[in-house]
Amino acid sequence: MPDKFILLTQDDATTFSKVIETLTPDNNKPSLIKVEDEQARSKLAANAVAEYNLHIKGLKRICQGFVTEMESNESEMHVVEEIVSLLKLKNTNAPRRPQRIILMGPAGSHKKEYALALAEKYQLVYVNVNQLIKEIARRNGDNDQARALKSYIAQDRQIPDEVAVELVLERLSKPDCRLNGWILDGCPSNLNQIRLLQQNKVEPQKVIALEISDEKVMEELSS
């Protein structure tokens, strides 16, 4: 798991010209791929730039919170000094390691607002169990899992603990959660779910429990 992900960037025109240079036949520069036709070279270079940008966009989304971009058109010594300086930094707004947080609290405690604020500050993935269930029911269309979830939702029935925890485990195993860390809202909601999470070795670094008086809960819910 990296503490830092350094991405050297340059403009598309520079990348394009470098690819063209690599593909152009030159007896003094042996290469595995040489393209004689100029139009073919241009097409291949343009496709290479587009494909690279697409992959980098996805990578930056998954590795959000880890990526530091540096301009690579500077001198080699300058880039090296920038990297060395970055690696020596001690103070950062983001945690050194991906945080795993469970946020618990009664209705009316503004749990979602606090969770979203923490997720934004520390660039964590916010996982809301109720939202997750609805998204899976919608996205998976007509398979058995989606039909079962839709039935529970339509009848306003509680999702079985085993099903809810299985969905949570699947979500937390995704690359964005593993790389960036997560804040979990809505699970565990009872002792059985705690036991199931422990059995599956879900070990949060922090569990935050919001406390609020019964009177304040009633006030918040009635407002």
For 107-129, write each residue's pLDDT tens digit.
Answer: 667 788 888 888 888 889 999 99
Percent above pLDDT 90 for the chain: 19
pLDDT-derived band at 168 (thresholds 50, 70, 90) equals very high
Which of residues 67, 88, 109 is at a domain's end?
88
Does position 189 have pLDDT exceeding 50, yes or no?
yes
Task: Say if residues 25 and 36 touch (Cβ distance below 8 Å).
Answer: yes
In the sheet that holds 99-104, the strands lie side by side as 125-128, 181-185, 99-104, 206-209
b/e burial code for range 94-129 (CB count within 10 A of at least 16 → b)? beeebbbbbbbbbebbebbebbeebbeebbbbbbbb
**Model pLDDT, residue 95:** 47
Asked if omega into 106 is within 30° of 0 (cis), the reply is: no
Higher pLDDT, 130 or 74: 130
20 and 66 fall within a common domain: yes
Q: How far is 86 from 72, CA to CA, in rounded Å?
A: 15
122 and 188 fall within a common domain: yes
35 and 83 fall within a common domain: yes
**Model pLDDT, residue 53:** 81
Higher pLDDT, 159 or 8: 159
**pLDDT tens digits along 70-87:** 776 667 677 677 766 765
| Most confident of the following: 54-68, 99-113, 162-176 | 162-176
114 and 218 fall within a common domain: yes
**pLDDT tens digits along 24-58:** 877 566 555 677 888 888 888 888 888 878 877 87
List CB contacts of 52: < 8 A, sequence separation 6 or more: 15
Which of residues 60, 88, 116 is at a domain's end?
88
197 and 111 fall within a common domain: yes
Does position 179 have pLDDT exceeding 90, yes or no?
no
Higher pLDDT, 13 or 85: 13
56 Cα distance to chain centroid: 14
133 and 107 fall within a common domain: yes
108 and 63 fall within a common domain: no
- For residue 9, the enclosing domain spans 5-88
Across all residues in the chain, what is the average pLDDT? Answer: 79
Domain tally, the chain: 2
Look up the pTM and report it.
0.58
Longest dimension (CA), the chain: 83
pLDDT-derived band at 16 (thresholds 50, 70, 90) equals confident
b/e burial code for range 135-159 (CB count within 10 A of at least 16 → b)? ebbeeeeeeeeeeebbebeeeeeeb
Does position 67 have pLDDT exceeding 60, yes or no?
yes
108 and 10 fall within a common domain: no
Higher pLDDT, 140 or 92: 140
Q: How far is 142 from 136, CA to CA, in rounded Å?
A: 11
* Rounded-to-10 torsion of CA 161, 163, 165, 166: 160
